[in-house]
Amino acid sequence: MEERILYNLLQVVVVVGLSPLVGGVLDRLKEIVQSKRGPSVFQPYRDIWKLLHKDEIVSEESTWLFRATPYVAFVAPIFVTLLIPVLTRYPLFFAFMGDMLGGGFVLALGGFFVALAAVDGANPYGTMGASRTRMVGFLAEPVFIIVFFTVSFVAGSTIPYIVQSVWINPLSNFFAPSHVLTMLAFLMLILAEDARIPVDNPSGHFELAMIDKSKALEYSGRGAALMKWAGSMKLFVLAIIFLNVLVTPWGLAESTAPGEVLLAIPLVLFKVLLFLLVLVVVESSLAKLRLFRITEFLGAAFITSVVALATSASGI
């Protein structure tokens, strides 16, 4: 029992500690594709360190929401980390505290606070970004729900640890259409949820076109550091849910031996690297969509998930 609590905390340490690295590697890979040198993969750590040592300026007009939001946004992915399989195939201490829907709610709570704080700062760009994020959010919601239905229909459960072993048990399940199409729909969902191309340009600096980043424009110092860190943790957590729960549990520790759990860390990072390569290909080969075309992109994701549900309902 003790080791299960310990491994659960180790998961949190891995997610908190390595998520800036994942962001840095993603940026570096994109720079390489664009034939640029680009900063080191450790640049996000330096940015966060620098911001943590700077003075924070908070508008006098803002309320407690603005001050509390960086902490809420920072803590939400940590709570989700406690629920999902990051390193192990067997359930850990907190695994049955909440299912996939619970994790989705906790992540959405962080997003909700960030949107409120963006409005609270009274920066017009922040308000615009918040309303656009809500627009993308409510279009992404049905996709999430249908993916959730499909998964619970196929696996008979919504606890991530049970879902993950269904896809390879027997191995022919890996090729089931419900699995392949659910992966596809969830990948599109990640692109929308994490504000990646084609929904939003994460490296854009033009405020009028921003969706996601404009919400954190008002933050400085420690608040900005936490918001930046929370953003990279959210991407890391979504990638982990995608890779370990929806794709395969390969590379995760089978037993409670400490060596095997530690070995799972590089294996999971390797899987994340493969995911980042897919993300780089998507981001480098597509253009950002016009705002009102986003409905079509998420409509396509919705259809994909509905087809996944329909094919799984026919018993295959």
Partner 1 sequence: MGAAMTPYLVHLNAMTGGLFLLAAFAIVATRQMSACLRWFVAQSLLLTASAAVIGIGLGSGHLAAVAVITFLTKVVVTPWLLRRTVRRELYSRREISQVFNIPTSLLIAAALTLLAYGVLYPVTALGVGAFAAINLPVGLAGLFLGAYTVAVRREALAQLIGLLGMENGAFLAAVSIAHDLPLIAELAAAFDVLVTALVIGLLTRRIYDRVGGTSVGLLDALRER
> Which one, 141 or 260, has the nearer CB to partner 1?
141
CB contact set of 123 (below 8 Å; sequence gap of 6+): 214, 217, 218
Phi then psi for residue 86, to 5 deg, are -100, -45
> Which one, 208 or 287, has the nearer CB to partner 1?
287
> Which one, 8 or 304, has the nearer CB to partner 1?
304
Rounded to whole angstroms, the Cα distance separating 222 from 53 reads: 7
Question: To the nearest whole angstrom, how small is the minimum distance from the Cβ of residue 316 to partner 1?
Answer: 4
Q: Which of 91, 238, 82 is nearest to 163 (CA)?
A: 91
Instruction: Tokens 């003075």: give the residue.
Output: 55
Q: Which of 283, 276, 261, 216 is nearest to 22 (CA)?
A: 276
Residues that bind partner 1 (CB under 8 A): 170, 172-178, 180-181, 295-296, 299-300, 302-304, 306-308, 310-311, 313-316
Question: To the nearest whole angstrom, how small is the minimum distance from the Cβ of residue 184 to partner 1?
Answer: 8
Q: Give the rounded distance of the alpha carbon of 34 from its chain centre.
A: 24
Rounded to whole angstroms, the Cα distance separating 78 from 17 reads: 11
> Which one, 23 or 198, has the nearer CB to partner 1?
198
> Which one, 286 or 300, has the nearer CB to partner 1?
300
Question: To the nearest whole angstrom, how small is the minimum distance from the Cβ of residue 298 to partner 1?
Answer: 9
> Which one, 175 or 206, has the nearer CB to partner 1?
175
Question: To the nearest whole angstrom, how small is the minimum distance from the Cβ of residue 295 to partner 1?
Answer: 5
Question: To the nearest whole angstrom, how small is the minimum distance from the Cβ of residue 155 to partner 1?
Answer: 16
Residue 170, preceding bond cis, omega within 30 degrees?
A: yes
H or E stretch covering 185: helix 177-193
Question: To the nearest whole angstrom, how small is the minimum distance from the Cβ of residue 97 to partner 1?
Answer: 34
Rounded to whole angstroms, the Cα distance separating 219 from 70 reads: 9
* Cβ proximity of 88 and 261 under 8 Å: yes
